[in-house]
Amino acid sequence: MNKVIGGLGVFAAVAVFAAAFILASSFSAPAQAAEVEDGGYYFAVTLDYGFDEAYERVTEALKSEGFGIQHETDFQAVMKAKLGKDILRYLLLAACHPELAFETYSNEEWAGIMMPCTVVIRELPDGNAAVAIKHPGMLPIATGNDALAPISHQLIEKSLNVLAAL
């Protein structure tokens, strides 16, 4: 029985990835944006400026799309404090769009597991920065709730707009 369930789990994971790719491919960032990488579970851009400027631009772009920052985690500091490991600057932002979060919750009470919209700002070895946003296309797929698809579409558009503003 476990082999069958395990096999279905792999099949389901492939189906989720394929559906998320199809959902995301119907959207495109505005022309002025850096090239957006679709990593399946994230969208990302590599920037030609540093971490501090990336932080300022990201927080402003999130705000302009209706997101608030609920929490920041300095992952670099955590790795140093907990493991004594040195890594390049790496910041996790827990971003929330209150209206869309409430609409999501209203349609799927356990959808909070998939929230908030995680944004990562990381320093690259050349001193520039990269920014990634968790792919919101996974929400209706992972929950199996089609009512979340329009919300997911809005979040994809907003996420790509944030990256385009960078």
Domain housing 143: 2-164
Using the structure block, give the residue that is written with the tokens 């296309």: 137
Residue 23 CA to residue 43 CA, distance in Å, equals 13
Q: How far is CA 60 from CA 10, 53, 93, 130, 136, in A?
A: 39, 11, 13, 16, 20
Using the structure block, give the residue that is written with the tokens 């030609």: 48
Q: Structure pTM?
A: 0.81
| Tens-digit pLDDT profile for residues 63-89 | 999 999 999 999 999 999 999 999 999
Other C-beta atoms closer than 10 Å to the C-beta of 131 total 26
Which range (4-8, 55-59, 84-88, 142-146) has the least confidence?
Answer: 4-8
Q: Has residue 138 got a pLDDT over 60?
A: yes
Domain total of the chain: 1
Residue 77 CA to residue 90 CA, distance in Å, equals 9
Q: Read off the CATH number of the domain in which 19 is found.
A: 3.30.310.70
| Tens-digit pLDDT profile for residues 23-44 | 444 444 444 457 999 999 999 9
Identify the bridge partners of residue 119 per DSSP, sorted by sequence position. 93, 133
